[in-house]
Amino acid sequence: MPSEFELIRRHFVRPTPQAILGPGDDCALIASSPGMQLAITTDMLIAGTHFLPNTDPHQLGWKTLAVNLSDLAAMGARPRWALLAGSLPAANEPWIAAFADGLFACASHYGVDVIGGDTTRGPLTFCLTAIGEVPVGTALRRDQALLDDDLWVSGQPGLAALGLAHLQGRTELAEVLVKPCLAALQRPLARVELGLELRQRGLAHAAIDVSDGLLADLGHVLERSAVAAELFVAQLPPLPAAADPVLARRCQLAGGDDYELVFSAAPARRAEIAELAVRLALPLWCCGRVIRATPGQLTLVDDDGQAVPIKDKGYDHFG
Protein backbone atom coordinates (compact mmCIF):
# COMPACT_ATOMS: atom_id res chain seq x y z
CA MET A 1 0.00 0.00 0.00
CA PRO A 2 1.46 3.40 -0.95
CA SER A 3 2.43 5.76 1.86
CA GLU A 4 0.82 9.16 2.42
CA PHE A 5 3.76 10.87 0.75
CA GLU A 6 3.74 8.50 -2.21
CA LEU A 7 0.00 9.16 -2.75
CA ILE A 8 0.66 12.89 -2.71
CA ARG A 9 3.60 12.57 -5.08
CA ARG A 10 1.68 10.37 -7.53
CA HIS A 11 -1.58 12.30 -7.66
CA PHE A 12 -1.21 15.83 -6.30
CA VAL A 13 2.26 17.07 -7.24
CA ARG A 14 2.09 18.82 -10.60
CA PRO A 15 3.84 21.85 -12.09
CA THR A 16 3.14 25.16 -10.35
CA PRO A 17 4.35 27.88 -12.72
CA GLN A 18 2.71 30.69 -10.70
CA ALA A 19 4.54 29.73 -7.49
CA ILE A 20 8.15 30.21 -6.48
CA LEU A 21 8.08 26.84 -4.72
CA GLY A 22 5.26 24.30 -4.86
CA PRO A 23 4.62 20.99 -3.05
CA GLY A 24 7.54 19.11 -1.54
CA ASP A 25 8.86 21.38 1.23
CA ASP A 26 7.44 22.54 4.56
CA CYS A 27 5.77 25.55 2.90
CA ALA A 28 4.96 26.76 -0.57
CA LEU A 29 6.42 30.10 -1.62
CA ILE A 30 4.36 32.62 -3.58
CA ALA A 31 4.71 36.30 -4.43
CA SER A 32 1.75 38.55 -5.11
CA SER A 33 1.88 40.85 -8.11
CA PRO A 34 2.72 44.54 -7.55
CA GLY A 35 -0.27 46.60 -6.49
CA MET A 36 -2.32 43.55 -5.59
CA GLN A 37 -3.96 42.33 -2.40
CA LEU A 38 -4.45 38.65 -1.65
CA ALA A 39 -8.01 37.35 -1.35
CA ILE A 40 -8.06 34.14 0.70
CA THR A 41 -10.95 31.76 1.36
CA THR A 42 -11.43 28.26 2.71
CA ASP A 43 -14.29 25.75 2.63
CA MET A 44 -14.78 22.31 4.11
CA LEU A 45 -16.67 19.51 2.37
CA ILE A 46 -17.76 16.55 4.51
CA ALA A 47 -19.29 13.32 3.17
CA GLY A 48 -22.94 13.10 4.13
CA THR A 49 -23.21 16.85 4.78
CA HIS A 50 -21.86 18.59 1.67
CA PHE A 51 -21.88 15.67 -0.76
CA LEU A 52 -23.35 12.19 -0.96
CA PRO A 53 -20.86 9.45 -0.06
CA ASN A 54 -21.28 7.80 -3.49
CA THR A 55 -20.57 11.01 -5.45
CA ASP A 56 -18.40 10.43 -8.50
CA PRO A 57 -14.82 11.26 -7.36
CA HIS A 58 -13.93 13.17 -10.53
CA GLN A 59 -16.95 15.44 -10.09
CA LEU A 60 -16.16 15.82 -6.39
CA GLY A 61 -12.59 16.88 -7.18
CA TRP A 62 -13.91 19.57 -9.51
CA LYS A 63 -16.48 20.80 -7.00
CA THR A 64 -14.03 20.90 -4.09
CA LEU A 65 -12.06 23.61 -5.88
CA ALA A 66 -14.96 25.31 -7.69
CA VAL A 67 -16.88 26.20 -4.52
CA ASN A 68 -13.84 28.09 -3.23
CA LEU A 69 -13.26 29.85 -6.53
CA SER A 70 -16.86 31.05 -6.32
CA ASP A 71 -15.93 33.02 -3.18
CA LEU A 72 -13.06 34.65 -5.08
CA ALA A 73 -15.43 35.42 -7.95
CA ALA A 74 -17.80 37.20 -5.56
CA MET A 75 -14.99 39.59 -4.61
CA GLY A 76 -13.84 40.16 -8.17
CA ALA A 77 -10.53 38.40 -7.49
CA ARG A 78 -8.51 36.46 -10.04
CA PRO A 79 -7.78 32.91 -8.76
CA ARG A 80 -4.08 32.02 -8.49
CA TRP A 81 -3.29 29.29 -5.94
CA ALA A 82 -4.95 26.56 -3.87
CA LEU A 83 -4.02 24.26 -0.99
CA LEU A 84 -5.89 21.02 -0.25
CA ALA A 85 -6.16 19.11 3.01
CA GLY A 86 -8.15 15.90 3.16
CA SER A 87 -8.90 12.88 5.28
CA LEU A 88 -9.55 9.56 3.57
CA PRO A 89 -10.98 6.39 5.14
CA ALA A 90 -8.63 4.25 3.01
CA ALA A 91 -5.94 4.61 0.37
CA ASN A 92 -8.24 3.69 -2.53
CA GLU A 93 -5.88 4.69 -5.29
CA PRO A 94 -8.31 4.54 -8.27
CA TRP A 95 -10.75 6.75 -6.32
CA ILE A 96 -7.96 9.17 -5.35
CA ALA A 97 -6.68 9.30 -8.94
CA ALA A 98 -10.16 10.19 -10.25
CA PHE A 99 -10.60 12.85 -7.54
CA ALA A 100 -7.21 14.37 -8.37
CA ASP A 101 -8.02 14.42 -12.10
CA GLY A 102 -11.25 16.33 -11.37
CA LEU A 103 -9.47 18.74 -9.06
CA PHE A 104 -6.76 19.52 -11.59
CA ALA A 105 -9.28 19.77 -14.44
CA CYS A 106 -10.93 22.58 -12.50
CA ALA A 107 -7.54 24.11 -11.64
CA SER A 108 -6.53 24.09 -15.30
CA HIS A 109 -9.85 25.61 -16.39
CA TYR A 110 -9.45 28.58 -14.03
CA GLY A 111 -5.66 28.95 -14.18
CA VAL A 112 -4.95 27.84 -10.59
CA ASP A 113 -1.79 26.21 -9.18
CA VAL A 114 -2.32 23.61 -6.43
CA ILE A 115 0.70 24.43 -4.28
CA GLY A 116 0.40 22.13 -1.27
CA GLY A 117 -1.75 20.48 1.36
CA ASP A 118 -2.00 17.48 3.66
CA THR A 119 -3.64 14.06 3.93
CA THR A 120 -4.55 11.81 6.82
CA ARG A 121 -6.74 8.77 7.55
CA GLY A 122 -10.24 9.58 8.77
CA PRO A 123 -13.83 10.27 7.66
CA LEU A 124 -14.03 11.42 4.06
CA THR A 125 -13.49 15.18 4.30
CA PHE A 126 -11.79 17.86 2.23
CA CYS A 127 -10.77 21.37 3.20
CA LEU A 128 -9.49 23.58 0.43
CA THR A 129 -7.99 27.06 0.67
CA ALA A 130 -8.00 29.23 -2.44
CA ILE A 131 -5.95 32.38 -2.91
CA GLY A 132 -6.57 35.06 -5.50
CA GLU A 133 -5.43 38.57 -6.32
CA VAL A 134 -7.34 41.82 -6.57
CA PRO A 135 -5.99 45.35 -7.07
CA VAL A 136 -5.61 47.20 -3.78
CA GLY A 137 -8.86 48.74 -2.56
CA THR A 138 -11.06 47.42 -5.38
CA ALA A 139 -12.46 44.12 -4.03
CA LEU A 140 -16.21 43.66 -4.18
CA ARG A 141 -17.56 43.32 -0.64
CA ARG A 142 -20.80 42.52 1.12
CA ASP A 143 -20.99 45.84 2.95
CA GLN A 144 -21.19 48.24 0.00
CA ALA A 145 -24.81 48.01 -1.20
CA LEU A 146 -26.40 51.45 -1.58
CA LEU A 147 -29.96 52.73 -1.30
CA ASP A 148 -31.88 52.45 -4.59
CA ASP A 149 -29.42 49.92 -6.02
CA ASP A 150 -30.81 47.24 -8.30
CA LEU A 151 -30.32 43.65 -7.18
CA TRP A 152 -29.14 41.14 -9.77
CA VAL A 153 -28.59 37.38 -9.80
CA SER A 154 -26.76 35.33 -12.40
CA GLY A 155 -27.74 32.09 -14.05
CA GLN A 156 -30.55 29.90 -12.74
CA PRO A 157 -30.42 29.39 -8.97
CA GLY A 158 -32.29 26.32 -7.80
CA LEU A 159 -31.07 23.74 -10.28
CA ALA A 160 -28.53 22.26 -7.86
CA ALA A 161 -31.11 21.83 -5.11
CA LEU A 162 -33.48 20.18 -7.58
CA GLY A 163 -30.68 17.80 -8.55
CA LEU A 164 -30.10 16.91 -4.90
CA ALA A 165 -33.83 16.37 -4.33
CA HIS A 166 -33.83 14.00 -7.31
CA LEU A 167 -30.86 11.99 -6.00
CA GLN A 168 -32.44 11.78 -2.54
CA GLY A 169 -35.74 10.55 -3.95
CA ARG A 170 -37.70 13.60 -2.79
CA THR A 171 -38.78 14.31 -6.37
CA GLU A 172 -38.51 12.65 -9.76
CA LEU A 173 -37.26 15.08 -12.34
CA ALA A 174 -38.36 14.95 -15.95
CA GLU A 175 -35.65 13.47 -18.15
CA VAL A 176 -34.94 16.83 -19.75
CA LEU A 177 -34.00 18.28 -16.34
CA VAL A 178 -31.86 15.50 -14.90
CA LYS A 179 -28.64 16.34 -16.73
CA PRO A 180 -28.61 20.14 -16.14
CA CYS A 181 -29.67 19.80 -12.51
CA LEU A 182 -27.06 17.16 -11.70
CA ALA A 183 -24.41 19.19 -13.53
CA ALA A 184 -25.30 22.25 -11.44
CA LEU A 185 -25.00 20.18 -8.27
CA GLN A 186 -21.92 18.13 -9.04
CA ARG A 187 -19.89 20.30 -11.43
CA PRO A 188 -20.69 23.93 -10.60
CA LEU A 189 -19.13 26.75 -12.60
CA ALA A 190 -17.57 29.51 -10.52
CA ARG A 191 -18.56 32.85 -12.07
CA VAL A 192 -14.99 34.14 -12.08
CA GLU A 193 -15.25 36.03 -15.37
CA LEU A 194 -18.44 37.75 -14.23
CA GLY A 195 -16.84 38.81 -10.95
CA LEU A 196 -13.79 40.19 -12.74
CA GLU A 197 -15.94 42.18 -15.18
CA LEU A 198 -18.15 43.59 -12.43
CA ARG A 199 -15.07 44.81 -10.54
CA GLN A 200 -12.97 45.98 -13.46
CA ARG A 201 -15.81 47.99 -14.99
CA GLY A 202 -17.08 49.31 -11.66
CA LEU A 203 -20.54 47.86 -12.30
CA ALA A 204 -21.26 46.33 -8.89
CA HIS A 205 -21.28 47.90 -5.45
CA ALA A 206 -21.70 44.73 -3.34
CA ALA A 207 -21.65 41.04 -4.19
CA ILE A 208 -21.89 37.55 -2.70
CA ASP A 209 -22.07 34.02 -4.10
CA VAL A 210 -25.12 31.83 -3.57
CA SER A 211 -23.96 28.88 -1.48
CA ASP A 212 -26.59 28.63 1.28
CA GLY A 213 -29.63 29.95 -0.60
CA LEU A 214 -30.56 33.09 -2.51
CA LEU A 215 -32.55 34.62 0.36
CA ALA A 216 -30.00 33.70 3.03
CA ASP A 217 -27.00 34.99 1.12
CA LEU A 218 -28.72 38.18 0.01
CA GLY A 219 -29.61 38.66 3.67
CA HIS A 220 -25.89 38.72 4.52
CA VAL A 221 -25.38 41.61 2.09
CA LEU A 222 -28.29 43.54 3.59
CA GLU A 223 -27.05 43.03 7.15
CA ARG A 224 -23.47 44.01 6.37
CA SER A 225 -24.57 47.03 4.32
CA ALA A 226 -27.20 48.09 6.91
CA VAL A 227 -29.94 48.30 4.28
CA ALA A 228 -33.16 46.47 3.36
CA ALA A 229 -34.46 45.13 0.08
CA GLU A 230 -37.45 44.02 -1.94
CA LEU A 231 -37.16 40.93 -4.14
CA PHE A 232 -39.74 40.62 -6.92
CA VAL A 233 -40.95 37.08 -7.68
CA ALA A 234 -41.97 38.02 -11.23
CA GLN A 235 -38.43 39.21 -12.03
CA LEU A 236 -36.60 36.10 -10.81
CA PRO A 237 -35.29 33.60 -13.36
CA PRO A 238 -38.14 31.52 -14.86
CA LEU A 239 -38.69 28.19 -13.11
CA PRO A 240 -37.95 25.03 -15.12
CA ALA A 241 -41.18 24.24 -16.95
CA ALA A 242 -41.00 20.51 -16.29
CA ALA A 243 -40.46 20.76 -12.51
CA ASP A 244 -42.92 20.87 -9.63
CA PRO A 245 -43.40 24.66 -9.34
CA VAL A 246 -43.69 24.69 -5.54
CA LEU A 247 -40.51 22.67 -5.06
CA ALA A 248 -38.71 24.59 -7.84
CA ARG A 249 -39.52 27.94 -6.22
CA ARG A 250 -38.36 26.70 -2.82
CA CYS A 251 -35.13 25.44 -4.38
CA GLN A 252 -34.63 28.75 -6.18
CA LEU A 253 -35.06 30.86 -3.06
CA ALA A 254 -33.52 28.67 -0.37
CA GLY A 255 -31.86 25.66 -1.96
CA GLY A 256 -28.25 26.81 -2.09
CA ASP A 257 -25.26 25.05 -3.69
CA ASP A 258 -25.75 27.14 -6.84
CA TYR A 259 -22.59 29.30 -6.74
CA GLU A 260 -24.22 31.99 -8.82
CA LEU A 261 -23.47 35.64 -7.96
CA VAL A 262 -25.90 38.12 -6.40
CA PHE A 263 -24.85 41.74 -6.70
CA SER A 264 -26.14 45.28 -6.30
CA ALA A 265 -25.62 48.00 -8.88
CA ALA A 266 -26.84 51.50 -9.69
CA PRO A 267 -29.96 51.62 -11.92
CA ALA A 268 -27.98 53.77 -14.36
CA ARG A 269 -25.80 50.73 -15.18
CA ARG A 270 -28.64 48.47 -16.36
CA ALA A 271 -27.78 48.72 -20.06
CA GLU A 272 -24.11 47.92 -19.42
CA ILE A 273 -25.02 44.91 -17.30
CA ALA A 274 -27.43 43.68 -19.98
CA GLU A 275 -24.64 44.02 -22.55
CA LEU A 276 -22.29 42.09 -20.27
CA ALA A 277 -24.82 39.27 -19.98
CA VAL A 278 -24.88 38.94 -23.77
CA ARG A 279 -21.09 39.02 -24.04
CA LEU A 280 -20.62 36.37 -21.36
CA ALA A 281 -23.56 34.29 -22.64
CA LEU A 282 -24.77 34.28 -19.04
CA PRO A 283 -28.28 35.39 -18.06
CA LEU A 284 -28.29 38.22 -15.51
CA TRP A 285 -31.62 38.96 -13.86
CA CYS A 286 -32.55 42.33 -12.32
CA CYS A 287 -34.83 40.99 -9.60
CA GLY A 288 -34.98 43.48 -6.74
CA ARG A 289 -33.97 46.79 -5.25
CA VAL A 290 -32.33 48.14 -2.11
CA ILE A 291 -34.70 50.21 0.03
CA ARG A 292 -34.73 52.21 3.24
CA ALA A 293 -36.22 50.04 6.00
CA THR A 294 -35.03 48.02 8.99
CA PRO A 295 -31.43 46.96 8.17
CA GLY A 296 -31.34 43.35 7.06
CA GLN A 297 -35.06 43.23 6.25
CA LEU A 298 -35.86 41.33 3.06
CA THR A 299 -39.38 41.44 1.60
CA LEU A 300 -40.49 39.01 -1.09
CA VAL A 301 -43.09 40.65 -3.34
CA ASP A 302 -45.55 38.70 -5.52
CA ASP A 303 -47.05 39.59 -8.90
CA ASP A 304 -49.77 41.66 -7.23
CA GLY A 305 -47.33 43.72 -5.19
CA GLN A 306 -48.14 41.87 -1.99
CA ALA A 307 -45.56 40.61 0.51
CA VAL A 308 -45.09 36.84 0.50
CA PRO A 309 -44.33 35.09 3.82
CA ILE A 310 -40.79 33.70 3.89
CA LYS A 311 -40.70 30.30 5.59
CA ASP A 312 -37.19 29.18 4.70
CA LYS A 313 -34.24 31.37 3.75
CA GLY A 314 -31.58 28.71 3.22
CA TYR A 315 -29.14 26.28 4.75
CA ASP A 316 -27.65 26.75 8.22
CA HIS A 317 -25.28 24.08 9.58
CA PHE A 318 -26.38 24.83 13.14
CA GLY A 319 -29.92 26.03 12.46
Which candidate, 20, 45, 4, 203, places its Cα nearest to that of 12? 4
Residue 305 is predicted with a pLDDT of: 86
24 among the known binding-site residues?
Answer: no
Does the annotation place 118 within a ligand binding site? yes
**Residues 159, 244: one domain?**
yes
Asked whether residue 196 is domain-assigned, the answer is yes
Tell whether 150 is in a known binding site.
no
| Residue 50 is labelled as binding a ligand | yes
> Same structural domain for residues 155 and 299?
yes
The answer to whether the annotation marks 315 as part of a ligand binding site is yes
Same domain, 281 and 181: yes
Q: Which residues of 10-48 are buried (b: 16+ CB within 10 A; e: fewer)?
A: ebbeeebebbeebbeeeebebeeeeebbebebebebebe
Cβ-contact 208, 259 below 8 angstroms:
no
The domain tally of the chain equals: 2
Q: What is the pLDDT of residues 122-171, one digit of tens each?
A: 999 999 999 999 999 999 999 999 999 999 999 999 999 999 999 999 99
Give the SS3 label for residue 182.
Answer: helix
Q: In this structure, are residues 72 and 111 in contact, taking their beta carbons and an 8 Å threshold?
A: no
Is residue 145 in some structural domain? Answer: no
Residue 310: the pLDDT is 80
pLDDT in the model for residue 6? 67
| pLDDT at site 307 | 87
Q: Output the domain CATH number for residue 74.
A: 3.30.1330.10
pLDDT of 36 strictly over 60: yes
244 band by pLDDT with thresholds 50, 70 and 90: very high
Same domain, 193 and 271: yes
Tell me if 56 is assigned to a ligand binding site.
Answer: no
**In whole angstroms, what is the distance from residue 135 CA to residue 118 CA?**
30
The answer to whether 258 is a known ligand-binding residue is: no
Tens digits of residue pLDDT in 161-220: 999 999 999 999 999 999 999 999 999 999 999 999 999 999 999 999 999 999 999 999
